[in-house]
Amino acid sequence: MHPVLMLWLASSPWRQVERTLFDDTFAGIHQLSWFDWLILVPYFGLLFIVSIYGLHRYEVLRVYYKFRKRLPRAPAHRFDQLPRVTIQLPIYNERYVVERLIEQVLQIDYPRERLQIQVLDDSTDDTHPFTEALVARYQALGYPIEYHHRPNREGFKAGALAEGLKTATGELIAIFDADFVPPPDFLHRTVHYFTDPKVGLVQTRWTYLNREANLLTEVEAMMLDGHFVLEQTARCARDLYFNFNGTAGVLRRAMIEDAGGWQHDTLTEDADLSYRAQLRGWKFIYLPWVECPSELPDEMYGFQVQQSRWAKGLTQCARKLLPSILRARIPWRVKLEAFFHLTPNITYPLIVVVCALMLPVMIVRFYMGWVQMLVLDLPLIVACFCSMFVFYTAAQREIFPRTWYRSIFLFPALLAAGVGLTVVNTRAVIEALLGRQSSFVRTPKYAVAGKAPKSLRQKYRRKSGWLPWIELAIGTYFLGMVAFAIETYNFFSLPFLLLFVAGYYWAGLATLAQEYRDRLRAARRRRLEWETVH
């Protein structure tokens, strides 16, 4: 190499960066090679991208506290004559909750002559004859309820809603999933906002019937509270785009048709329609004080299935809609928030890559000075982990002002549950980016007030396949990193490594334990049947 070039490299900013980030304690033992930099640069680069989404949580909090009082506490006007409303109840193999749903909807306080209730049943099991008979019984009692059954699941939930819309008589469409329990005053508290002809949607806040069923449901509730208490409120109050959550909301039929109707090329047809409608100029309203109880998945694999469907659906919406959003003549802040709303799940595959790089990075960083490690790590910790802590505890404080501190003790479990989603959501995001279509996989619910017998639940459970074994393998990989950290006195990283161990082991072992119990119950049932016959 030319001597002048060698002198420039020795005094270049690159050397200054290296001397700043790494002390000379081990200079005689180890010099960073190109391979070391090849590991460190992608590792911190990916963590930097993840941290940007963490910093966005701080922005959501800022907007929430600054603009939350802008939400309309009451409609500007009230209807002299109530509008016609069609309530749509899309169900698919919901034997354990469909009766509760229908009975609760029939208790909604609204004039019968202005109401139509559609049970849109795509079921392929005994839910079909049971629900048909149930609807017929209530029809005979004079309730405005009707039953629709499709011989196929074309378009899944979106297809069922579109099919029901063909015979709907209401100018407003209220939608409830099978596990929801709408309060009797739901329509009276929502329909009057539609006196404003620009309003296309009124969305209410989910609450949870089985919030305290077990540790998993408590963590799920905290996760969803962050969305429904902070994100939805902030976006609505700041006039940013936000989405219909697929249930517990009322939509204007004219808006659905103007936006292009229900489309089933994504797994989150609700978010898809929401963005298409808002791009057309429709106004959405969120009412966090109107609560609609629902049921959370109380088993690990059901939770993972639900979350992976949402992750894939939102990523599909990002592919489909972001070009139109970025080209639209709307404020840049609306575009930026839409980008963050539709793309957060891209962090899951990034985290998987970070996990794979973590052990070699730990080996390389064994030679780094403590001061330099804090300079690199502390900002990322503040952006990622601290933002999550502040975000989710703030949501709990808004809902439970007297007992919110309990969420502090649940926060490690929330982080572990999030870790347990990385593998299944990474697969979902990659499939969405590659344009690979998949069926709408429902999350089984069991009516927590009158629980389905555990021996019968397994007919609605899907096999997890290879997923829990991969989670256990990754958990073991992190367990090895824990041993390495202890051996090298890197105690600073132990809490984070143990979170990953707990998260992957929790996800894998909980799923395998449930499937093992299912096999035992099936074997016991077969033995009893054999003994009965013989």
Residues annotated catalytic, as ranges: 122, 270
Cα 36 to Cα 363: distance, rounded to the nearest angstrom: 10
Amino acid at 82: L
Long-range contacts of 64-71 (CB under 8 A, 24+ apart): 64/230, 64/233, 64/234, 64/237, 67/234, 67/237, 67/238, 68/233, 68/234, 68/237, 69/237, 70/237, 70/238, 71/233, 71/236, 71/237, 71/286, 71/287, 71/288
The two beta strands, 115-121 and 172-175, are unpaired
For the sheet with 283-294, list strands across it: 145-149, 115-121, 85-91, 172-175, 249-252, 199-208, 283-294
How many CA atoms lie less than 13 Å away from 350 in the CB half-sphere?
A: 17
> Which residues are 251's β-sheet partners?
173, 201
What 3-state DSSP class applies to 293? strand
Q: How far apart are CA 508 and CA 2, in angstroms?
A: 57
What's the rounded Cα separation, in Å, for the pair 119 and 130?
A: 12
Distance in Å from the first CA to the final CA of the chain = 90
Show Cβ contacts of residue 229 under 8 Å, excluding neighbours closer than 6 positions.
205, 288, 395, 398, 399
Indicate the burial class of 343 (C-beta count within 10 angstroms; 0-12, 13-18, 19 or more): middle
Map 237-269 to HEC letters: HCCCCCCCCCCCEEEEHHHHHHCCCCCCCCCCH
Rg of the chain taking only CA atoms, in angstroms: 26
Q: How far apart are CA 468 and CA 470, in angstroms?
A: 5
